Amino acid sequence: MPSKGYQPRVSIVIPVYNAEKYLVKTLNSILDQSYKNIEVILVDDCSTDRSKAVIEPFLNDTIKYYCESKNNGGPAVPRNTGIRKSKGDLVMLFDSDDIMLSGKVEKSVSAFMASPNVGLVCTGFQSIGLNGELLNEDYLSDYQTFRVDFTPVSNGEYKLSSPDAYKALCLSNFVGTSSVVIPRKVFEDVGYFDEALSNCDDADMWYRIALKYDFLFIDHILHQYRINPGGISSRGGKNALSRIVVHEKQLKLEQNKENLLAINCSLVRNYLSLARFYIDTNRSLDARKLIIKAFCITPSISAVKLFIKTFV
């Protein structure tokens, strides 16, 4: 347990790409936080808009800007750059178009201080549209299954054991990237974000942490997640391909039977999801290959019906 009065340094790592429209609100929401022992690391993935010009007036000893030498097509590289450049005891990940709500940093740090051995702290959050309109006041309200095995540790804070966190992630990625706080030592243990992944590098990281550490969930709404119809997170069936890559990586690891079962169940869902996307985009042969993969893991009538649909 950290000593009384100890205030860990928090490094807020923000990958940036063409976010000029949102950066002022994002940075102001961070500066308005009650917890002040922070540094902000902005890593630009070679934006083609005015992101750098918008950031420059904010720069000081605790808000720093770096730019990658080339665009990397995804947030993994700038996230890793930011983590390596940071100095804090705790790393908080945040997206350049999201908004911190009051008390986010302070509540996250307090939760970690009370449970210092967890590998990841995450929170509830809302979703907003491009113009800040509220879309969903509790984004995780439909994710009821992941709350089942949470153990209450205090008012509104719940611990999820390493095995249960892993199984919950197989059901759905309930961890909002901008809600996360991770101790630096965890990155030193499990490694950095997989730079070969242009999408779902965050889910891959959560799996790797869950294999070794418990999670802590703060059941309070502490940030607003902006949904961009043209962004990576909105690409529907295409996201299934990235999830498949992440899950197939997990199958290559030494896993217990429960984990393998959970991963395979998730793979079946994503094989079929991607197959539907391929059917809708006139790629029936690719769809059939995925349906056969899914059927070999778990035979089902739904897979048979979908297979027949590829010939219609």
Domain boundaries defined on the chain: 10-231, 238-309
Residue with tokens 């959560």: 206
Check residue 229 and give its pLDDT: 63
Output the CA torsion sign for 85, 89, 94, 99.
Answer: negative
DSSP SS3 for 87: coil
Residue 66 neighbours by CB distance under 10 Å? 14
* Max Cα-Cα span within the chain: 68
Residue with tokens 């700038």: 78
Closest CA to 212 of 184, 190, 185: 190
Q: Quick check: 123 and 104 in contact, CB under 8 A?
A: yes
Output the CA torsion sign for 106, 109, 115, 118.
Answer: positive
Check residue 238 and give its pLDDT: 64
State the Cα–Cα distance between residues 211 and 204, nearest whole angstrom. Answer: 11
Closest CA to 94 of 156, 52, 34, 40: 40
Check residue 144 and give its pLDDT: 63
Output the CA torsion sign for 276, 277, 283, 285.
Answer: negative
Each residue of 63-80: pLDDT tens digit? Answer: 999 999 999 999 999 999
The pair of structure tokens assigned to 176 is: 């909002």
Check residue 150 and give its pLDDT: 79
Residue with tokens 């197959």: 275
Cα–Cα distance list, 252 to 56, 214, 259 (Å): 44, 22, 12
Per DSSP, helices labelled H in 115-173 are: 162-171
State the Cα–Cα distance between residues 120 and 192, nearest whole angstrom. Answer: 14
Residues of the chain with pLDDT under 70: 1-5, 144-148, 229-238
Check residue 232 and give its pLDDT: 45
Check residue 6 and give its pLDDT: 79
Which fold does the domain 10-231 belong to in CATH? Spore Coat Polysaccharide Biosynthesis Protein SpsA; Chain A (3.90.550)
Cα–Cα distance list, 157 to 109, 176, 196, 227, 228 (Å): 12, 16, 34, 26, 30
